[in-house]
Amino acid sequence: MTDKRVAIVTGGARGIGAAVAKRLAEQGRDVAVVDLDEAATAETVEAVRAAGGRAIGVGADVSRTEAVEAAVGRIADELGAPTILVNNAGILRDNLLFKMTDDDWDQVVAVHLRGAFLMSRAVQRHQVEAGWGRVVSLSSTSALGNRGQANYAAVKAGLQGFTKTLAIELGRYGVTANAIAPGFIATDMLRQTAERMRITYEDFLAGAAKEIPVARVGQPEDVAEAAAFFTSDAASFVSGQVLYVAGGPKA
């Protein structure tokens, strides 16, 4: 098909989401940049337009059903039926298990796991009708377990099972579902981790690079390239997979 594809990237205001949105625009996609604060999407929207795509910013809490339904409806009206979905929205509420509060757990589950479910359910209607679709969900190497991240590890592992199930259910409709599990990627989210560990961000990055086989930390663009492949026509026979973008073997 040569029709213009419309993509949704959640958590697209910065970091990995912004890099993915820009890369998809370079592939010729129109992009809806979804984030909690619509005003925060302006820079990414401008980058998408500069790369040649149409773009809108949409403010939505992906953990709320009514907000998701309204956002996807607006995107369909303003850009066209969305057939590419990148579930990237996420938050951190790190703590050791005995210090982790109910709210720490519930918020992380709501944004990452419930958010991916709600967005995927809303978008699949358009994908099935089109007979073509791509769902890419952001997992993490933390899915393998990580100290202080019982909540985050659980949802990132959950997204892998969710992805494999979507691949089974939606494959007959021309829809593929895959997950990307980034390792150590230099983003603002990791600044929070460095602060929690009481070290500078620069020292945090340098220390991590020493433990990575390719001897560098990842960049958002590394993840964006994986997303570009998974959402392409060339990946039509790749579904239900988890790709670790981590500079070395992780699973």
Catalytic member of 152, 173, 201, 244: 152
* 201 counts as catalytic: no
CA 48 to CA 25: how far, in whole Å?
A: 6
Handedness of CA 47, 48, 49, 55 (dihedral sign): negative
Q: Tokens for 100, please give them.
A: 């982790």
Residue pair 23/225 in contact (Cβ under 8 Å)? The answer is yes
> Do 143 and 181 touch, CB atoms closer than 8 A?
yes
Query: Cβ neighbours of residue 9 under 8 Å, at least 6 residues apart?
Result: 17, 20, 21, 24, 31, 32, 33, 34, 86, 88
> Where on the phi/psi map is residue 52: left (φ > 0), alpha (ψ -120 to 50), or beta?
left
- In three-state form (DSSP H/G/I as H, E/B as E, the rest C), the secondary structure along 118-143 is HHHHHHHHHHHHHCCEEEEEECCHHH
d(C-alpha 43, C-alpha 236), whole Å: 31
Q: Residue holding tokens 């998974």? A: 230
Q: Which two tokens stand for residue 159?
A: 């997204």
Active site residues: 152
